Amino acid sequence: MENVVNVDEAHNAQLKDKIHLRGLALMFHEPEGRMENDRMENDVKVLTALELPPNLQRLTIRGHEGNTIYPNLPTLGQLPFLEVLDIGGLDNVKKVGDEFLGIEDSKNKKDYGIIFPNLKSLRFLWMRNWEEWIGMGGTGEEEEENDNGIVTNPITMPRLQSLTIEGCHRLKSLPNYLLTAPLLKKLVIYRSRLLQERYQRGTGENWHKISHISNIMLDGKVVQIDGEPQFYSKTSNQQNEFGSEISDKDDVGAGSAECVVDERVEVDNDEGPEICDADR
């Protein structure tokens, strides 16, 4: 494990050369005496300087103060072996768009290869100011088509199986490229009131957009298992179906004191992001 406080140390970490690194957690702690604007600037610089290792399979990002998820996102979306992405406690993020996929405005979308080619599990936790998740067509509900009505967007997350949104109270909708992922079989929306209302069975205006997903949990209640509607309280079998998708809020925020990558590591430093790695 390493402790990175500034840009020079981020460069010196040489993460891109750690070809045997499989799991990485970036945990940002609030340093004493640092102004919020200074911390935001430093967090963004450090994240931009960190170049992710090419064979990474699991990535966790917690608590940085930037207003975008990861400044160097083209690297993130093109990691060929990334299977698990877990992001939380990013209180300054209000909107997520094409930058999450690593798509640049100056390039034609059809020129991109497969984005997040091996991603299987995606979780967003406790992002309290997040309001919009923009689809590739410029809105949360539409995808881009050419003049002939043919979708020209790149293939995105073709292996995604599990999606969890928790503690995102202001988020209004989910982009179509997520809900139409061909292998998506588990959706959990918890403590996210606007989403829960929008996708609720029977009353939600967009229930039809998620009804094909085999296993659905909304607000801690199992709505669907193996494509069959559920109208009763959770049983142990239902809990087993969803595993531990719902987190403990106290374990997610910027002040988290633990970092988990294959094993639990106690962190006793309150400056800079903690970089925890395994399988060197």
Residue 205 confidence (pLDDT): 96
Residue 6 confidence (pLDDT): 61
Whether 80 contacts 118, CB under 8 Å: yes
Positions in the chain short of pLDDT 70: 1-8, 10-11, 29-38, 71-74, 105-112, 136-152, 232-280
Whether 67 contacts 93, CB under 8 Å: yes
Residue 78 confidence (pLDDT): 86
Distance in angstroms (rounded) separating the CA atoms of residues 75 and 83: 14
Residue 32 confidence (pLDDT): 53
Give which of 43, 130, 121 is closest to 88, Cα–Cα: 130
AA letter at 131: E
Distance in angstroms (rounded) separating the CA atoms of residues 237 and 208: 26
Distance in angstroms (rounded) separating the CA atoms of residues 115 and 117: 5
pTM greater than 0.75 (yes/no): yes
- Cβ burial of 250 (10 Å; 0-12, 13-18, 19+) is exposed
Residue 183 confidence (pLDDT): 97
Question: What is the dihedral sign for C-alpha 163, 168, 169, 170?
Answer: negative
Residue 123 confidence (pLDDT): 97
Residue 262 confidence (pLDDT): 32
Q: Where are the beta strands (DSSP E) in 179-257?
A: 186-190, 215-218, 221-225, 228-229
